[in-house]
Structure 1
Amino acid sequence: MARRGLILLEGTRNNGLRYVQAAQRLGLHPITLSADPAQHDYLAEGNEAIHVDTDNQDALIRECARLHATYDVAGITSADEAVYATVGKLCRHFDLPGPNAVSVERCCDKFAQRQLLAEAGVPIPAYRLATNAADVESAAADIGLPVVLKPAVGYGSSGVRLCRNADELARHTAYLLGGKYIWRSSQRILVEEFVRGPYYCAHVMGNELVAIAAAALDPPPHFVFREAVCPAPLTEGEHRRIADVSLSCLRALDLGWGPTNIELRWTKCGPVVIEVNPRLAGGARTVQAAYGIDLVTEHIKLAIGDEWDLRRKHSHTAAWRSLIPDRDGVLDWIDGDTRAAAVPGVTEVKLFVRSKTLIVRNGDYRDSIGYVMAASPSHARTAAILRRAVDLIDWSITPFPQFGEQEQSPAPEPAPGARRSW
């Protein structure tokens, strides 16, 4: 009898290994297809990986067909939003359970997403689409400064910036359109109203709201997640309103299969949807620490046609904090992670860097050099555990001398063949 296999397209630094491990626990043999397997360090640990152009659907179909001849392929899935529409197309081709590729593609296009949400009456920021500097300036004038500029297609806050005045607007427009930013689609900029208020993330699987987390971002002008706590401290009414808006997003975007992450801000008028992402968020492990629900495992069960289980095993408060450097330069050393992991109540410590790594802050997901996660029966206790553990981690960065105190342009976006890593 052929061995049951699970095909994984690409991976991410936060969830990629978790998909591999969860597949193995379910008795599946995980096989990762990647344009560059070496970029996923966890694949060097003996996990099977095959080099294939994951932007080439015909090449993927050929490789999956070849694997079908060797394995009983039970499913195809991914942790990476960038290839999730491709997952849907492959699943349809091979008659396997999977997401609706058309719905995923529309959701990943932030302008199309905004249009569909607006048509359904979902509360969203005012927005305009721009393709050149004149369009950006006109859109900002219509909406009123400050505004948020973001690529119409993108991930992890890459290229996203709050523009508080005309000078910042002109500079960021020039950055996006001037050749430094690597576009993943045609050059289309979404100009959005800047919505103020507490930030929340709704974790959804299928049509079921699993958890709502409260998140905090670094100070403007960038949108880098610094920490989050699950469950969010909400009243029953606030929770219900966020849940209702989140589920209305699924209907508007024709989602409802697999994982969805919905980001919102709570305003004086209630919840406003900032973004809908057709994937698991990096904070999915916080849901597991809080409720004992492993969303990665349940996603794989769905992908192979097994019965899933979203019932809570316990009820704790879990929180994570990202480790974000305050300067660019060369990382001389970083330590304390072993001591932090030994603190009672700490569930995970992860470092993404090692000594002599070049540190260049980009104002997006790449700024994080690691994170710490903790859980306990109470919010106050979890916060204290997390604070103690984070304080045990320290590092030293020697600044780049040639840059001095001047503001640096963000590093170029990873090339289209390289994958995101949240």
Structure 2
Amino acid sequence: MARRVLILIEGSRTNGPPYVEAARRLGLNPITLSADPNRYDYLAAEKVETISVDTDNLEALIHECSRLRETYGIAGITGFSGSDESVYAMVGKLCRYFDLPGPNPASVERCCDKLTQRQLLARAGIPIPAYRVAANAKEVESAVAEIGLPVILKPAAGSGSSGVRLCWTVDEVEDHAAYLLGETHIRQSPPAILVEEFAQGPHYAAHAMGNTIVGIELADFHRPPHFVFRQSTFPAQLTDDEHERIAEVALRSLQALGLDWGPTNVEIRWTKRGPVVIEVNPRLAGAPDSQLVQLAHGVDLITEHIKLVIGEEWDLRKRFSYTAAARLLNPNSDGTLDWIRGVARAAAVPGVVEVKLYVESNTPVVRRGDYRDSIGHVIAASSTHSQTEAILQRAVDLIHWSITPFQTRDG
């Protein structure tokens, strides 16, 4: 009998390793197809078979999968967003071609286009921030005049908060618009900017699988003007009414976008007018969110997703009720990371589940204002929210680092 394989399109620094581990626990051999497998260090470390292929080319992917099918039994196909969430749409197309379970590619493509997503949500009566789309500086200026400061400027397509900025003044708007419209920002062509109202209030993420809300997480951000996550806590402390309203808006959003298969997460702000949808993501949230869900409720979203991908029965039942939280380690300056100390002491604090660093000493640190800014995280879990918060803070207070600023030409 041919060995069963799970084909992974592209990779992920954070979610990639647990997908590989979960696949192997389920008796599957993970094989990664990537435009550049060397981007993902864990593939070599975990001895994952890799194939170099243009993952933007459907015919090339079909060819490689067909070739693999001559040797293996393809149990399922899934993937990771990388820098472009259109990977998920490609996964959906491959699954349809090979008659395997997978997401609806048309729904994913609609969701990945932030403008189309906004239009579909508005049409369905989902509460969203006021927005305008702009293709040049003059249109940005007009949009800001209509919406009023402060505003959020973001690319119409993209992921991981890349290019997203809160602007309080006209000068900030002009500077960031010039950046998004210029050549230095990696973007789709032609350029398009979403100018949005700044919906103020606590930030939540509703994690869903299919039509089931698994739970709701509270998240907060590092210092503005960018939206770099600072801490995530699962589950969020909500009243029954708040939980019901957030869950209801999240499910209506998924329905409006045709996302009724697989993992998704809906980002919501609780404002003066109640829950307002900020963004719907047609994928599992980035790590360590799925780890928090498992620590808090005993639900392994990654394993259950793979079961769905290979056509097996999944299980989203909550086994217990704890609180888990992750604090991201975010530097306040660019430069060379000289050292990080206190990691072992932090890991030894009772209740700390993991202390993980993403970078090593003597490496450059360049903040980009997105998910790539974090240099590590600390995760804690306990039976209560207050105890988890205290454990997390105690551990984080033990970690220190030194960054030497880059030497300028004048220096």
1:73-116 residue CA offsets vs partner (Å, 9 max, x unmatched): 00000132341100000000000000000000000000000000
Q: Equivalent residue for 1:26?
A: 26
Name which of 171, 174, 181 aligns with 2:178: 174
Unmatched 5+ stretches in structure 1: 406-422
Moved over 3 A (4+): none
Look up the SS of the partner of 1:122 in the other structure: coil
- 2:222 and 2:330 in contact (8 A); partners too: no
Q: Equivalent residue for 1:381?
A: 387
Look up the SS of the partner of 2:70 in the other structure: helix
1:117-165 residue CA offsets vs partner (Å, 9 max, x unmatched): 0000000000111111111111111111111000000111111111111
- 2:86 and 2:109 in contact (8 A); partners too: no
Corresponding position: 1:215 with 2:219: yes
Q: Equivalent residue for 1:77?
A: 78
Distance 1:404 1:96, change over 3 A: farther
Name which of 92, 95, 99 aligns with 2:96: 92
Q: Equivalent residue for 1:418?
A: none
Name which of 394, 400, 406 aligns with 2:406: 400
1:173-202 residue CA offsets vs partner (Å, 9 max, x unmatched): 111112110113430111100110011011
Name which of 147, 150, 153 aligns with 2:151: 147
Distance 1:30 1:94, change over 3 A: same
Structure 2: how far apart are the matches of 1:7 and 1:57? Answer: 14
- 2:104 and 2:259 in contact (8 A); partners too: yes
Q: Equivalent residue for 1:2?
A: 2
- 1:19 and 1:79 in contact (8 A); partners too: no
- C-alpha displacement of 1:403: 7.9
Structure 2: how far apart are the matches of 1:125 and 1:396? Answer: 39
Corresponding position: 1:190 with 2:194: yes
Structure 1: how far apart are the matches of 2:247 and 2:322? Answer: 20
Q: Equivalent residue for 2:241?
A: 237
Look up the SS of the partner of 2:22 in the other structure: helix
Higher RCO, 1 vs 2 (CA within 8 Å, ≥6 residues apart): 1
- C-alpha displacement of 1:357: 1.3
| TM-score (norm: length of structure 1) | 0.94
Corresponding position: 1:57 with 2:63: no
- C-alpha displacement of 1:240: 0.2
Structure 2: how far apart are the matches of 1:346 and 1:150? Answer: 36
Give 2:71's aligned amino acid: T
Name which of 291, 295, 307 aligns with 1:301: 307
- 2:325 and 2:380 in contact (8 A); partners too: yes
Q: Equivalent residue for 1:337?
A: 343
Structure 2: how far apart are the matches of 1:288 and 1:235? Answer: 22
Give 1:270's aligned amino acid: G
Q: Equivalent residue for 1:359?
A: 365
- 1:153 and 1:185 in contact (8 A); partners too: no
Structure 1: how far apart are the matches of 2:218 and 2:235? Answer: 7
Structure 2: how far apart are the matches of 1:349 and 1:284? Answer: 16
Structure 2: how far apart are the matches of 1:185 and 1:207? Answer: 34
Structure 2: how far apart are the matches of 1:268 and 1:379? Answer: 25
1:351-405 residue CA offsets vs partner (Å, 9 max, x unmatched): 1100111111111111111111111001111111111211222211001131899
Identity, % of aligned pairs? Answer: 66
| TM-score (norm: length of structure 2) | 0.97
- 1:225 and 1:322 in contact (8 A); partners too: yes
Distance 1:185 1:303, change over 3 A: farther
Give 2:300's aligned amino acid: D
Structure 1: how far apart are the matches of 2:95 and 2:397? Answer: 46
1:317-371 residue CA offsets vs partner (Å, 9 max, x unmatched): 0000000001110011123323322222112222110011111111111111111
Corresponding position: 1:43 with 2:47: no
Distance 1:84 1:17, change over 3 A: same
Q: Equivalent residue for 2:375?
A: 369
Corresponding position: 1:128 with 2:150: no
Unmatched 5+ stretches in structure 2: none
Task: Say which is worse superposed, 352-361 or 21-30, in terms of deviation.
Answer: 352-361
- C-alpha displacement of 1:219: 2.4
Structure 2: how far apart are the matches of 1:198 and 1:185? Answer: 34
Structure 2: how far apart are the matches of 1:29 and 1:105? Answer: 29
Q: Equivalent residue for 1:412?
A: none
How many residue pairs end up in the alignment?
A: 405
Corresponding position: 1:110 with 2:114: yes
Structure 2: how far apart are the matches of 1:319 and 1:403? Answer: 42
Q: Equivalent residue for 2:67?
A: 66
